Amino acid sequence: MSTINQLPPTPVSATSDNVVLVTGGSGLVGSALQHLIFSEPIGSSYGRKEGEEWVFLSSPECDLRNITQTQEVFRKYKPGKVIHLAAKVGGLFANMSSQHTFLRDNLLMNDSVLQASHESKVNKLVSCLSTCVFPDQVTYPLTEEKIHLGPPHSSNFGYSHAKRLIDIQNHAYHDQFGDQYTSVIPTNVFGPGDNYDLKDAHVIPGLIHKCYLAKQNETPFVVSGSGKPLRQFIYSRDLAKLFIWVLREYKEIDPIILSVGEEDEVSIREVADAIIESMGFTGPVEYDTSKADGQYRKPASNAKLTRLMRESGSEDFHFTPFKIALKESVDWFLENYQSAARIGMAGS
């Protein structure tokens, strides 16, 4: 019999406000958060608080699709705060090929984490949406109140609907029980420790890996699609800082967009050119227009973020310039190509 719907009648346990549990702690964003938390001085703006304990989960410790395993992990660590990053994540082509898996895995993980948080009386939970939750047909720029105004783009409707529902769940838990659950909406994330799978990765790690192989094998560097779509990219190490700010300062249930400004949209062609430059690739470049472009653009406004950060006195935060962040990411890939486990899977 499935354990999915078997919820125990009693609360899981009392929480410790000093424990911060991060689901998806081994992923791109989770590893950036680990890097930040363990490199910043204790008590600094983006470091640990004195006496605070951070726990980073990965899937071997707990399959969050299973509520019983999730409850056990909450019973073990008794977190007072949770950053919920764990998700089935992939680029355009992974989403297009597995809509149901992206829908179901994410629905189950989100339901387990939110329900276990509720049962164990977590004080604050920050979950992660994505700009693909927004309607396909909507006026730009995207702003927080437009999420539910129409269906998302068809290319990733499974993932998008599962992610949208987190906002509904947050409001339902708050409305009925007063729970303090919120969510953030990052744009396309990249950085050290990304998923470099040639088929399933997002565009930046996918193209870093393809450019590397093209250089090694002296073959053309093939970019999928026309190169014309525009995206706002956020460096994982900048995003990690914003997560700390949200955990400490952001008080709303409604989501908040975490993004560079609208003026910082970059075309896929510019991404490819920046990778070529960082990698020192000198061979031919081809655009495979038989492959999908996905959404042409989805510019998001960071007006709410900049206003609230200013009001909270967090004016020391600055986004890393795109080309510097990209160079750091390419350098990380080159330094870790042989050893990083995730890259080992990358030829699939």
**Per rule CB under 6 A, count of chain residues that contact ligand NAP:** 27
Cα(290)–Cα(186) distance, rounded to whole angstroms?
29
Q: Looking at 21, 27, 182, 211, which residue binds ligand NAP (CB under 6 A)?
A: 27
Check binding of 202 to ligand NAP (CB under 6 A): yes
Instruction: Select from ligand NAP, ligand GDP, none the partner in contact with residue 93, using the beta carbon and a kind-dependent cut-off of 5 to 8 Å.
Output: ligand GDP
Q: 82: closest CA among 168, 15, 177?
A: 15
Nearer to ligand GDP by C-beta: 133 or 166?
133
Cis upstream peptide for 8 (omega within 30°): no
Q: From ligand NAP, ligand GDP, none, which one binds at residue 299 (CB under 5 to 8 Å depending on kind)?
A: none
Distance CA 210, CA 217 (A): 10
Q: Which of 77, 159, 173, 235 is catalytic?
A: 159
Q: Residue 224 touches which of ligand NAP, ligand GDP, none (CB < 5 to 8 A by kind)?
A: ligand GDP
The residues of the shown chain that bind ligand GDP, judged by CB under 6 A, are 91-93, 132, 188, 201-203, 206-207, 210, 223-225, 229, 231, 268, 291-295
Q: How far apart are CA 75 and CA 67, in angstroms?
A: 12
Considering the complex, state which of residue 18 and residue 58 has its C-beta at the smaller distance from ligand NAP.
Answer: 58
Clarify whether 159 is annotated catalytic.
yes
Q: Does 271 bind ligand NAP (CB under 6 A)?
A: no
Q: Which of ligand NAP, ligand GDP, none sits in contact with 91, Cβ below 5 to 8 A by type? A: ligand GDP
Task: Decide: is 21 part of the binding site for ligand NAP (CB under 6 A).
Answer: no
Q: Could you tell me the CA-to-CA distances from 281 to 2, 66, 169, 214 in Å, in that order?
A: 51, 45, 47, 8
79-84, strands of its sheet edge to edge:
53-56, 16-23, 79-84, 124-128, 181-186, 256-258
Place of tokens 């399933």: 200
Closest by CA to 81, choosing from 19, 127, 31, 33, is 19
207 contacts ligand NAP (rule: CB under 6 A): no
d(CA 330, CA 166): 33
Binding site for ligand NAP (CB under 6 A): 24-30, 58-60, 62-65, 85-89, 109, 128, 130, 186, 188-189, 195, 202
Which residues participate in catalysis according to the annotation? 159
